[in-house]
């Protein structure tokens, strides 16, 4: 094993680490020398109830091979408490893997405010609260690694997952901005959209497929993105069953209309093929790539 992928002296918080992907991440960080806060609320896949069993089980697994870990039973909605456990026990926080999750799948027509709020609170608010509590420590020490967990449902949309898609793509929005705000402070922030056989997929995939989609195929990507030498930041990756891929935006060249003339819906309709033509597409990578064509169409220099 390369030394640079070790996490000795590093403190790692993994949320939702009592099962599935989070458990796999926590075990691997601990095997690589990290001191790990194993957070898990221990409720149902739909967000009901709570229990200390899930987190305690993984802490015991880590201790069984001589690793160091403590449990946190807090909901990610109380992210400051989770980070406080890292500080109280290990005196620092280097890596946060925001992974906790539940599902409340239902068509948008039948979705209740409770379905919407619960998913928002666990995924979006939870990711924010844990990250917000870790952020000042990372700024202060000028070092941090954060991996946030999105989903293909957020990237592409998925029937019955309006609440979840909204939260999951929002999480990537957060990652992209924190990647910029953390850039000069040694903080790298990335997003993964995993596929893994866990209880969250139990109702939609057959048992043998669930067993084949091991979380252990996703964890090495998380470890790599959280390693000290990793320079990656602001990225979005899909991963599952040994397949790992990076995503980026693609944009058509677009149509440019004379800003001195009136622009009507009919004019746009006439140029619609050009608006949607990917033949001369580009890959915008920052907000400056939006202002570029806007200012160039006005014929003025982009303000620095």
Q: Whole-number minimum distance, CB 59 to ligand NAD, in Å? A: 13
Rounded Cα distance, 128 and 144, in Å: 15
Report CA torsion sign: 103, 189, 81, 129: negative
Q: How many CB atoms lie within 10 A of CB 4?
A: 9
| Choice from 200, 222, 226, 236 touching ligand NAD (CB under 6 A) | 200
Segment 74 to 113, residues that bind ligand NAD, using CB under 6 A: 75-77, 99-102
Residue-by-residue DSSP string for 21-84: HHHHHHHHHHHTT-EEEEE-----TTS----SHHHHHHHHHHHHTT-EEEEE---GGGHHHHHH
| Choice from 11, 16, 79, 190 touching ligand NAD (CB under 6 A) | 16
Which of residues 155 and 255 has its CB atom nearest to ligand NAD in the complex?
155
Strands 187-194 and 236-240: parallel
CA count, 13 A, side-chain hemisphere, 263: 8
Q: Taking CB under 6 A as the rule, does residue 45 contact ligand NAD? A: yes
| Choice from 14, 19, 86, 134 touching ligand NAD (CB under 6 A) | 19
Question: Residues in contact with ligand NAD, total (CB under 6 A)?
Answer: 32
Give catalytic status of residue 73 as yes or no: no
Which of residues 16 and 144 has its CB atom nearest to ligand NAD in the complex?
16
Q: Whole-number minimum distance, CB 258 to ligand NAD, in Å? A: 45
Please report how the helices 20-31 and 219-226 are oriented relative to each other, as an axis angle in degrees rounded to 10.
50
Rounded Cα distance, 217 and 28, in Å: 12
Q: Taking CB under 6 A as the rule, does residue 194 contact ligand NAD? A: yes
Q: Which of 73, 143, 164, 237 is catalytic?
A: 164
The 48-77 site mask, x for binding ligand NAD (CB under 6 A), equals: ------x--------------------xxx
Candidates 13-21, 29-37, 221-229, 286-294; binding stretch for ligand NAD (CB under 6 A):
13-21
Which residues, including other chains, have CB under 8 Å from residue 82's CB and lie 6 or more apart? 13, 15, 37, 39, 72, 74, 76, 130, 133
Q: Which residues bind ligand NAD (CB under 6 A)?
A: 15-16, 18-22, 39-43, 45, 54, 75-77, 99-102, 122, 126, 149, 151, 194-196, 198-201
**Which positions are annotated as active-site residues?**
164
């Amino acid at each position: 094993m390369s030394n640079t992928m070790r996490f000795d002296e590093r403190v790692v918080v993994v949320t939702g680490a009592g099962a599935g992907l989070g458990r796999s991440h926590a075990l691997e960080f601990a095997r690589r020398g990290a001191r790990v806060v194993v957070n898990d609320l221990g409720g149902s896949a739909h967000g009901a109830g709570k229990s200390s069993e899930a987190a305690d089980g993984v802490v015991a697994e880590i201790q069984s091979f001589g690793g160091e870990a403590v449990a946190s039973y807090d909901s990610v909605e109380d992210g400051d408490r989770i980070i406080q456990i890292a500080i109280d026990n290990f005196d620092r926080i280097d890596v946060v893997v925001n992974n906790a999750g539940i599902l409340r799948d239902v068509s948008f027509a039948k979705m209740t405010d409770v379905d919407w709020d619960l998913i928002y609170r666990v995924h979006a608010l939870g990711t924010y609260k844990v990250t917000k509590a870790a952020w000042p420590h990372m700024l202060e020490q000028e070092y941090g690694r954060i991996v946030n967990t999105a989903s293909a449902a957020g990237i592409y949309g998925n029937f019955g997952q309006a609440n979840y898609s909204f939260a999951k793509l929002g999480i990537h929005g957060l990652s992209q901005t924190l990647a910029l705000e953390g850039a000069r402070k040694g903080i790298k922030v990335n997003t993964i959209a995993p596929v893994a056989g866990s209880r969250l997929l139990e109702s939609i995939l057959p048992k043998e497929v669930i067993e084949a989609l091991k979380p252990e195929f996703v964890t090495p990507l998380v470890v790599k993105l959280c390693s000290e030498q990793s320079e990656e930041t602001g990225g979005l990756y899909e991963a599952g069953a040994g397949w790992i891929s990076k995503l980026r935006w693609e944009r058509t060249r677009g149509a440019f209309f004379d800003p001195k003339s009136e622009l009507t819906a009919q004019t746009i309709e006439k140029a619609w093929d050009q608006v949607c033509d990917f033949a001369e597409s580009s890959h915008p990578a920052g907000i400056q790539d939006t202002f570029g064509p806007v200012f160039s169409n006005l014929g003025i220099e982009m303000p620095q």
